Structure formats: structure tokens, C-alpha cells
Amino acid sequence: MATLVQKRAYAISGTIHVLGLLVLIVMGLISAWKREPEPLEFELVDPADLTAAQAQQSQSAPAEPEQDEELAPLETSKLEDLPQVNPVELPPLPEPEPEPEPEPAPKVESKPPPKPAPKPKPKPKANYADWAKNRDLPKQVVKEAPKPKPVSAPRLQTSNLQQRLSSTVGQMDLNLPASTSAATQSQLQSYAQRVRARLQAAFQAVGVPGLEARASFTVTASGQFVGVRIVKGSGDSAFDAAVLAAFRQARSPGPPPDGEAKTWQLTFTAE
């Protein structure tokens, strides 16, 4: 059996080589049969030279055309001389084994998601009443806070209020020149008493008794208090502030009788 197979293989190999050789011979004959065309060459000639050449050619005798060389026929090899090759029967190829069918994928059962664990209930906050319910603890005695005693407001004695106010503002020194007439002096003294009364009504003394402050001020021609300042302090800033506040709160005494501004000093005392 092995010898028969080898013979068949040798026969097939020889046939293939012979066929290849024939193909090469045929291709060589075909390529030799076909001739490549010769390339055309052109030469540029001046028209004057071309005319002279044509005249000269017409005078000369016509030349006989050259005969093309006959091509010798190519000898082709006879195919009948080739050895005959017996056909070789090849053994049938074995049929391919059928592929095994794929096994079906196993079905995966879907499980329900796990339920969340219940949250623990918050413990109730313990208070003191629940803690002391089952314990024997001494009772607490709640002491009531003592009620505040009513504070009696001191009564103001208004009987001597006017007398106290009149004693807080001293007398004013007018410092009138000697040439002032008696009538003018009387008018200015009356006007000074009016100024003192306005300041006395507006002054509210604060601090301890015995405080004293002296203030300088000017009454304008229209009866306004300006330029008020403390020339001698009492040592108590609250008392000095009360003196300055009296000038701001006092009513205007009106214009001076002679129509001129007056600058005076006045002493304030707390008694």
C-alpha cells in the first residue's frame, strides 16, 4: 500500500514539473513573437533648409524602396512529443468530525435583596422623676424666698424749696462807672435782678452742700446768654455741669435797658 502511494506521489510531482516547463516555453515564444515598436525620432529643421532640401530631392532620381526583411518563422515544439502522464487518483479526504454542541449556560436564580436590619429603637432619656420613683429619698423642702420689703420713697419738703433756690444764686456786682446816672443805675439793677431770677429758676443744684462755682457770661443786645464759662470751679464736675446747663435752659431776660451787651459774673452755691 505504501508503494502505491509513493508511486502516485512521484507521478503527480512529475506531471507538475512538466506542466511548469511547458508554461515557461510558451511564455518565451510569445514574448519573442512580439516585437517592441522602434521609437520615433523627430528633428526640428529650419523652413528655409527644408525648402532647399525638397528642391534638391526633386532633382535627384527616386530611390527604390527598401524591402523589409522577412522574418523567419519560429519553430514551435510539438506538444505531441511530450510524454503522456497518467492521471493519479487521490484518496478521499476524511470527513471532519462534527463540532460538539455547546452546553447551555446554567441558569442563575436571582435572589431577592436582603432586607435591611431593623434600626434599634432609641432609648428613652431618663429624668430625675423616673430615677427617684423607686428610691427612698428624703423629701426636698422648698424654701420660699423672702418677699422684698417695700421701699418708701422719701417725701420732698416743698415748703422751703423756694427759699433753697433763692439761696443758691448769689448777688451780681454790676461794676457801674461813677458817671452813670441814678436812673440808669436803677434800670440796670432791676435788669440784673431779672437775669438772676431767670438763672435761679433754671439752676438745679447737685452734689453735697457747700459746693460753690463762679461763672462768667455775656448778655447780648437781644437778651441771649453767650460766652458762658466757669472761672472758678467747685471741684465737682457734676456741679459745674449743672451751672452751665442753667444758662442753656434759662429763659431770656430780654434786651438790656440801654441796648448794649453786658458781661457779668455770678456765683452758684449748693446749701
Whether residue 210 is contained in a domain is answered as: yes
pLDDT band at 170 (very low <50, low <70, confident <90, very high): low
Residue 137: pLDDT above 70? no
d(CA 37, CA 49): 30
Reported as a pLDDT band with limits 50, 70 and 90, residue 158 is very low
Residue 222, domain extent: 163-173+181-269
Q: For residue 151, tell me if it sits in a domain.
A: no
CATH number, domain of 222, equals: 3.30.1150.10
In the chain, DSSP assigns E strands to 212-219, 225-232, 262-269
**For every residue of 59-73, which 3-state class applies, written as one string?**
HCCCCCCCCCCCCCC
Closest CA to 234 of 210, 199, 250: 210
Position with higher pLDDT, 31 vs 12: 12
Q: Per the domain annotation, does 21 fall within a domain?
A: no
pLDDT digits (tens, 9 = 90+) for 78-118: 555 666 667 767 777 777 777 777 777 777 777 777 778 77
What is the end-to-end Cα distance of the chain in Å, rounded?
162
Q: How far is CA 32 from CA 36, 39, 227, 241, in A?
A: 10, 18, 146, 145
Backbone angles phi, psi at 252, to 5 degrees: -70, 130
Residue 36, in any domain of the structure = no
Indicate whether 105 belongs to any domain.
no
Per-residue pLDDT reduced to its tens digit, 176-196 = 777 778 888 888 889 989 998
Instruction: Name which of 179, 173, 213 is nearest 196 in CA terms.
Output: 173
Q: Has residue 133 been placed in a domain?
A: no
Name the residue with cell 492521471. 87
Residue 54 located in a structural domain: no
* Residues 144-173, mean pLDDT to the nearest whole number: 53
216, part of any domain: yes
The model's pTM is 0.38
Please count the structural domains in the chain: 1
| Percentage of residues in the chain having pLDDT higher than 90 | 13
Query: Would you say 203 and 243 are in contact if contact means Cβ atoms under 8 Å apart?
Result: yes
256 within 8 A of 219, measured Cβ to Cβ: yes
Report residue 228's pLDDT band, with 50, 70 and 90 as the boundaries.
very high
